[in-house]
Chains A and B, each alone.
Chain A
Amino acid sequence: MKESITVNEMLILKKFSYKMRIIKINGTLISKENYDSTIIHDGDDVQMLYLMSGG
């Protein structure tokens, strides 16, 4: 078992395909252009929020 993966690898692994989203790791927002370079480590607090149109 790998101890760290990138954000993009996590999205593929978890089959999170919906595009409108916010990801925060340990309280810091990760912008889309950093999904490949941002590493998630074991124990990190990863939060995801899907954004649905409507209001």
Chain B
Amino acid sequence: MGIAEIKKHLSKFRIGIAGAGGLGSNCAVALARSGIGTLVIADFDIVEELNLNRQYYFYEQVGMMKTDAIRDNIKHVNPGILVITHQKKLDRTNISEIFAGCNIIIEAFDNAGMKEMLIETVQTKMPGIPLIVGSGMAGWGKTNDLICRKIDETLYVCGDETSEVSDNLPPLAPRVGIVANMEANVTIEILMNIK
């Protein structure tokens, strides 16, 4: 299948992205370049200078809402994508409403408790919707430890499932970017199998 056909197929789908930090911003841009039709992105934070070590933002965007900044950046790579943003903190009560109609949901938080909350909520309130999670990507090196594990038809995990962030093991652009792109890659793989 050629690129035009692939883009035409992917343009039919709507993908939810929970968080627009290191995982979410990079994953969103990869999906936009690939031609996903609609991206629903939720985040409540602003772009900070510290984020620029790994997140898909620019120096001039420091101080902007991440939802506004990512919308602008997607527009610069693919103006044909519909981007729906929610400037909101996700919780158990609003997730199924915000991501209603999405074919796949991508977990892109940094905090482990938020990751757990999102998985519990999506898997119980939105049964059958595939959820792609990132877990374990702090530090550098260990490229071949980063894998994608399919738990079942509705749950995939990307990362090494071991490396947690700490003062001595910060999140850096390469490993976070790899996992963000792995999440995008699994998304496309699932969508390409839908006829």
Which of B68-76, B97-105, B118-126 has 4 or more CB atoms under 8 Å from chain A? B118-126
Q: In the assembly, what is the distance between CA of A54 and CA of B116, in Å?
A: 13
Please name all residues of chain A whose beta carbon is closer than 8 Å to the beta carbon of B77 when the two chains form the complex.
none
Look across to chain A and name the residue whose beta carbon is closest to the beta carbon of B24.
A55
**One of A29, A47, A55 near B110 (C-beta < 8 A):** A55
Q: Is B19 an interface residue (CB 8 A)?
A: yes
Q: In the assembly, what is the distance between CA of A2 and CA of B58, in Å?
A: 59
Contacts known (A20-B113, A29-B120, A49-B133); A54 close to B108, Cβ less than 8 A: no
Give the secondary structure class of B's interface: mixed
**One of A29, A31, A53 near B165 (C-beta < 8 A):** A53
* B19, B108, B111 pick with most chain A CB within 10 angstroms: B111
B152 and A51 contact, CB distance less than 8 A: no
The total number of A-B Cβ pairs within 8 Å is 83
Look across to chain B and name the residue whose beta carbon is closest to the beta carbon of A29.
B123
B162 and A52 contact, CB distance less than 8 A: yes
B162 and A54 contact, CB distance less than 8 A: no
Look across to chain B and name the residue whose beta carbon is closest to the beta carbon of A48.
B151
User: Which parts of A1-34 form the interface with B (CB within 8 Å)?
Assistant: 20-22, 24, 27, 29, 31
**One of A27, A31, A51 near B135 (C-beta < 8 A):** A51
B138 and A52 contact, CB distance less than 8 A: yes
**One of A20, A27, A49, A53 near B157 (C-beta < 8 A):** A49
Please name all residues of chain A whose beta carbon is closer than 8 Å to the beta carbon of B161 when the two chains form the complex.
49-50, 52
Q: In the assembly, what is the distance between CA of A50 and CA of B24, in Å?
A: 20
* B19, B111, B115, B159 pick with most chain A CB within 10 angstroms: B115
Please name all residues of chain A whose beta carbon is closer than 8 Å to the beta carbon of B151 when the two chains form the complex.
24, 47, 49
Minimum Cβ distance to chain A for residue B78 (Å): 23
B21 and A55 contact, CB distance less than 8 A: yes
B110 and A54 contact, CB distance less than 8 A: yes
Minimum Cβ distance to chain A for residue B35 (Å): 24
What is B's interface to A at a CB cutoff of 8 Å? 19, 21-24, 108-113, 115-116, 119-120, 123-124, 133-138, 151-152, 154-155, 157, 159, 161-165, 171, 176, 179
What is A's interface to B at a CB cutoff of 8 Å? 20-22, 24, 27, 29, 31, 47, 49-55
